[in-house]
Structure 1
Amino acid sequence: MSVRPASNTVENRFLTRPVGRLFLSNALPMAVVMSTGGLLNVIDGIFVGRFIGAEALAAVSLGFPVVMLLTALTALGGGGMSSLLARHLGAGDRSKAGAVFARAHGLALAISAGLIAAALTLGPSVVSALAAGNEAVAAETRSYLLILILGAPVQFTLGLHADALRNEGRAGLIALLSVLVNLLNIAANYVAIVLLGLGVAGSALGTVSAQILGLALVLIVRARDRDLLPLGALVQASWLSGWGRILALGLPLSLTFIGMALVSSTVLLLIGTTSADHASYVAAYGVVTRILGLAFLPQMAIALTTQSITGNNVGAGRIARASAALRLAIAVVSLWCAGVALTCLVAGEPLGAMFSEDPQVTAAVAAILRPMTALYVFTGPILVLAMHFQAMGHPLRTAVLTLVKPWLLVPALLVLMDALAGIEGLWFAFPIADAVLLGLALLLIRRVRPIASLSAAPSAEKAA
C-alpha cells in the first residue's frame, strides 16, 4: 500500500466548517475522550481506597510521578508529530504527513526502550526514596509501575494514532472508541481488584489490557477508512530520521508533564520529611492528583482542539480562522476552570470521602484542595495560548507558558513554603505560582501581540 497523493476529493473540515461548529465538533468529543480516561483514574482510586485500603491508595499515589512521566513521553512524540502533521494536512501534502507519521513511530519505540532500561536499573531505588522508608508501600508501588512501564510501547503507539486521527478530523470516532475502551477498563479493574484480589497490580493490568484493545481498534479503523493516512505510510519513510523536529515541537508539552512529575515528587518528598502522618497525607495528595487530573483533561482537550484548528489553518494560510478559534477556546476554558475552582472550594470533604472512609484522609484532601485551586481559573487560558503557539511552530513561546511554573516556580515555592509554614502552608505554593505565571503570560501577549496580529489578516479569510 502506498501513500496517496494530495487529492481535492478529500475535504479538510478544519478549513471549511464555521469556526464555532468546528470548535464544538472537535472539542466536545476530545473532552469525552480525555475525561473518560480521567474518570477511569478516579474510579480506579475509589476501588483501591475503599476495597484495599489507605495504604494501597498511598502506594498508587507514590506512582503518580511515573504515570505523569509516561504521559509526558506520550506527548513528546504525539505532540510534536501533531504540529507538523496538521500543517502538512492543511497544505494538502499527504505524502509529507505520512512521512512524519512513520518517523514518530520510530521515535516512540526508541523512547520505550530507554524507559524500560531505566526502570529496571534505577526504578527500585527511586521508589524507596519516595516511600520514605515504608517498605510495604514501596513494594506495592514497584509491582504497579513495572506493569505500566512494560506496557509503554503500546501506550505510546496508541497515543500517536489517536493524535493522528484528531488531526484528520475524526474526533468523534476517537470519543466513541475511548468510551468503549475505558468502560471495559473499569470492568477489568473491578474484576482484578475487587473480585480477584490482585491489589494495585490488578489496576495496572487492567490499564495495559485496555490500551492493547484500543490500539487494535484504531488500527482496524485506519485500515478500513480510505480518507485517513494509510497504514502503508508507515513503510514508505524511514523510522530513524526526522526525530529532531518532532522532539523540538513536542518537548515543551512533554516537559510540562515531566514538570508535573517533578512537582509531585517534590511534594511527596516534603511530606515525608514534614508530616508525622505520612501515609494519610500521601493518600490524600493522591486523591487530589486524581481529582485535579480529571479537571485538567477537558482543558487539555480544548487546548488540543485549538492546536489542530490552528495548525491546519495556518498551514493553509487562513490565519483569521485560527484567531477566532483561539478567542472562543479561551472563553470556554475560563468558564470550566472557574467551575472547578468553586467545586474544590466548597466540596473538599465530600470529594475526599468518595475515595476513603478514613477521616484523616478526607480532612487532608479538603485542606490541600482549597489553597491549591485559589487561582485555578487562569490555568486553562494559559494552556490554550501555549498550544496555539506550539501549532504555529513557536516552541520557545510555548516553553515560557508551559515550563516556568512546573520546573521553576512551584518546586522553589514548595521548598520555601514548607520551610516557612510546614505542611499547612505547603499548598499555597500553587496559587502563588499561578499569579506569577499570569503576569508572565500577560507580558508575553503584550510583547508578541498574537491576537492583534492574527486579527490583522484579510477579512476575506474570516469569511472562509
Structure 2
Amino acid sequence: MSTDTIQKDEPVSRVFWRFAIPSVAAMLISGLYQIIDGIFVGHYVGYAGLAGINMAWPIIASIMGFGILVGMGAGSLISMARGAGDNSQAQRILNNAIGLLLFFSALATPLVMLFGHQLLLLQGAHGVSLQHGYDYIHIFGYVAPFAIISTAIPILIRNDNSPHIATALTILGAVLNIGLDYLYLGVLDQGLRGAAIATAISQIIVTGVGVVYFISAQAEIRVTKIRLNLSSILAISRLGSSSLVMFAYFSFVIALHNLLLMKYGGEVYVGAFAIIGYIATLYYLFAEGIAAGMQPPVSYDFGNARPHRVKQTVMLAGKVILISGTATILLLNLYPEFFISLFSSQDESLLRTTIEGLRLHLSLLFLDGFLFLASVYFMAVGKGGKALFVSMGNMLVQFPFLYFVPQWLGVTGVWLALPLSNLVLTLIVAPMLWKDLKLLTELKFKAVKA
C-alpha cells in the first residue's frame, strides 16, 4: 500500500495494525536469534553454558545497538520526510544512513577483539562459564559488522513502506539460525562456538539480501550514493540515540545482574537469570514491535500535521502493551514450569531458582513495555531529547536500587531491583507523555480555531 493511502481518512486502527502486525512479527522472529540460542545451549550445554552466553550478550547487544541507532533514527526521519512529501530528503537520509552503518561497522571488530575478554571478567565470569562466554565472543568479533547492518536493514525497509518485506527478511534470518543451531549444537556438538557461527551466518545472509533490496527497483527510495553529511548524521544520531541508549541500558543491566548474582548466588543463579531473560524477551519483543510499528504512522501523521491521529495511535498502542503485559505476568505465575522447560528440564536446583527469580523479577513486566512506548513516541515526533531522557532515566534509576537493595535482601534484592526502579521511572514518564500528547492536540486546535 502506498503512502498516499495513509494521507486519506483511513481509520487510525487499520493503519496502526497494518504496520504493527508485521513489526511485531519481525521483532518476535528476530528475537529467535537469541531465544533459539538459549534453548539449544540450555539443553545441549547446561546452565554453565547459559551463564556464559548471558555474559556474552551485553557485549553483543551493545554492538547491535549501533544498528538500532541508525535504523530507528533514519527510519523516523525517512517517514517524516515522506509524510511531508519530501522524497528527496528521504533519499538523502537513506544514503547517509548506509554511510553511518559502514562507519560503525569498521569500528566494531577491533572493539570486540580488544575488550571482549575483559568485559566478561568484569561480570564475574570464571572457570567454565568464562570459557563458554569467550567461545561465543571470539566468533562474534569477526562478524560484528554484519550484526550491526542486519539489525538496521529491516527497520529501514519497513520505513520504505515495505513492512511485509522487512518481516520476510527477518523470518529468513530466524529460520536459518534455527537450522544452523541444530546443525552446530545438536549434530556437530560445537557448544557456544557453534551457536555463534550459526547466528553469524544468518546475519551475513540477511545483510546481503537487504542490500540487494535497496539497490533494486522494489525499493521506493533506493541507495544512490553513500554519504556522510554532518547535518544528516547528527539528525539521525539525535533521534536514534535513545534506542542506542536503551540497548546500552539492557546490556549494562544484564551485566550488572550477572555480577551481583555471581556474588550473592553463583553460576546457577546466572543460568536462571538467563532463562528469565529469554522468557521476558518474548514480551519485550512484542512490546518493542508494537512501539516500532507505531512509529511510521505517528511520524507520518506528525509530518502531515494531524495530531489527533497521533494521539489516537499512541493511546491504542499503549492499551495493547499494558493489557498484553498484564496477561503475560498472569501466565508466568500460573505455569512457570512450562516456560522454564523450554530451556532446561533436568536440573531441579535450576528449576527452583528460576521460578523464584521469575516471580520477583518480572512482577511489573508491563512497565517495561510502557517505557518502550514513551521513548519511541518522543523519537517519532522528533523530540530526541525527551526520548533520550526516558532511555537514560531507564538506566540511571536502576543504579541505587541495584546498589542498595541487594545489600539489604541479598539475592532477593537483585531480583527486585528492576521492578522497583521501573515503577519509580514510570511515575515520572507517564505524566510527561500525557502532557506532551495534550499539548500537541491543543496547539492544533488553537491553530484551526484561529
Shared fold (TM-score greater than 0.5)? yes
User: What does residue 64 of structure 2 align with?
Assistant: 71
User: What does residue 20 of structure 1 align with?
Assistant: 13
Structural mapping, 1:128-207, within 5 Å: 128-132=121-125, 134-207=126-199
**Using the alignment, how far apart are the partners of 1:227 and 1:281 within structure 2?**
47
**Using the alignment, how far apart are the partners of 1:451 and 1:150 within structure 2?**
48
Contact 1:310 1:391 in 2 (8 A): yes
The letter for the 2-side match of 1:142 is Y
User: What does residue 228 of structure 1 align with?
Assistant: 220
Unaligned runs of 5+ in 1: 1-8
Contact 1:417 1:426 in 2 (8 A): yes
User: What does residue 441 of structure 2 align with?
Assistant: 454
Q: Give per-residue Cα distances to partners, 1:254-282, cap 9 Å, x unaligned.
A: 1011011111111111122212xx12111
Q: Quickly say closer, same or farther: Cα 1:40–1:445, change in 2 above 3 A.
A: closer
**2:368 is the alignment partner of 1:379:** yes
User: What does residue 257 of structure 2 align with?
Assistant: 267
The letter for the 1-side match of 2:336 is G
Q: Indicate the SS of the match to 2:410.
A: helix
**Using the alignment, how far apart are the partners of 1:218 and 1:382 within structure 2?**
30
Contact 2:238 2:384 in 1 (8 A): yes
1:455 Cα deviation (Å)?
6.1
The letter for the 1-side match of 2:171 is V
Contact 2:19 2:296 in 1 (8 A): no
1:226 Cα deviation (Å)?
4.6
User: What does residue 434 of structure 1 align with?
Assistant: 422
Structural mapping, 1:345-356, within 5 Å: 345-356=333-344
Q: 1:404 aligns with which of 393, 399, 402?
A: 393
Contact 1:263 1:411 in 2 (8 A): no
The letter for the 2-side match of 1:222 is F
1:451 Cα deviation (Å)?
3.5
Q: 1:326 aligns with which of 304, 309, 314?
A: 314
Q: Give per-residue Cα distances to partners, 1:182-226, cap 9 Å, x unaligned.
A: 112100110011101111111111111111212222233334435
**Using the alignment, how far apart are the partners of 1:71 and 1:284 within structure 2?**
24
Contact 2:58 2:254 in 1 (8 A): yes
1:53 Cα deviation (Å)?
2.0
**Using the alignment, how far apart are the partners of 1:337 and 1:163 within structure 2?**
24
Q: Indicate the SS of the match to 2:22.
A: helix
1:50 Cα deviation (Å)?
0.9
The letter for the 2-side match of 1:162 is P
1:419 Cα deviation (Å)?
0.3
Q: Which of 305-314 and 378-387 deviates more?
A: 378-387
The TM-score, its normalising length taken from structure 1, stands at 0.90
Contact 2:374 2:433 in 1 (8 A): no
Q: Which of 137-146 and 23-32 deviates more?
A: 137-146
Q: Which of 141-150 and 220-229 deviates more?
A: 220-229
**2:334 is the alignment partner of 1:367:** no
The letter for the 1-side match of 2:353 is A
Q: Indicate the SS of the match to 2:391.
A: helix
The letter for the 1-side match of 2:243 is L
**Using the alignment, how far apart are the partners of 1:365 and 1:199 within structure 2?**
22
Unaligned runs of 5+ in 2: none
The letter for the 2-side match of 1:397 is K
Q: Give per-residue Cα distances to partners, 1:132-174, cap 9 Å, x unaligned.
A: 4x23321221121132232222222233321222112211222
Q: Quickly say closer, same or farther: Cα 1:43–1:161, change in 2 above 3 A.
A: closer
1:445 Cα deviation (Å)?
3.6
The letter for the 1-side match of 2:352 is A
Q: Indicate the SS of the match to 1:317.
A: coil
1:18 Cα deviation (Å)?
2.5
**2:207 is the alignment partner of 1:215:** yes
**Using the alignment, how far apart are the partners of 2:259 and 2:2 within structure 1?**
53
Q: Quickly say closer, same or farther: Cα 1:33–1:459, change in 2 above 3 A.
A: farther
Q: Give per-residue Cα distances to partners, 1:38-93, cap 9 Å, x unaligned.
A: 23422321211111222222211111211321332221221211221111111122
Kindly report the root-mean-square deviation, in angstroms, between the aligned alpha carbons of the 2 structures: 2.3
Contact 1:284 1:352 in 2 (8 A): no
**Using the alignment, how far apart are the partners of 2:106 and 2:220 within structure 1?**
29
1:418 Cα deviation (Å)?
0.9
**Using the alignment, how far apart are the partners of 2:162 and 2:446 within structure 1?**
29
Q: How many residues align?
A: 446
Q: 1:252 aligns with which of 223, 231, 242?
A: 242
User: What does residue 4 of structure 1 align with?
Assistant: none
Contact 1:266 1:411 in 2 (8 A): no
1:124 Cα deviation (Å)?
1.6
The TM-score, its normalising length taken from structure 2, stands at 0.93
**2:22 is the alignment partner of 1:29:** yes
**Using the alignment, how far apart are the partners of 2:267 and 2:318 within structure 1?**
39
Q: Give per-residue Cα distances to partners, 1:395-451, cap 9 Å, x unaligned.
A: 22212322212x2222320121110010122211122112111210233246x3424
Q: Give per-residue Cα distances to partners, 1:331-377, cap 9 Å, x unaligned.
A: 11111111221122222233222212211111111111111222222
Q: Give per-residue Cα distances to partners, 1:277-317, cap 9 Å, x unaligned.
A: x1211111111111111210111111112211111121122
Q: 1:341 aligns with which of 329, 333, 344?
A: 329
Q: Quickly say closer, same or farther: Cα 1:70–1:15, change in 2 above 3 A.
A: farther
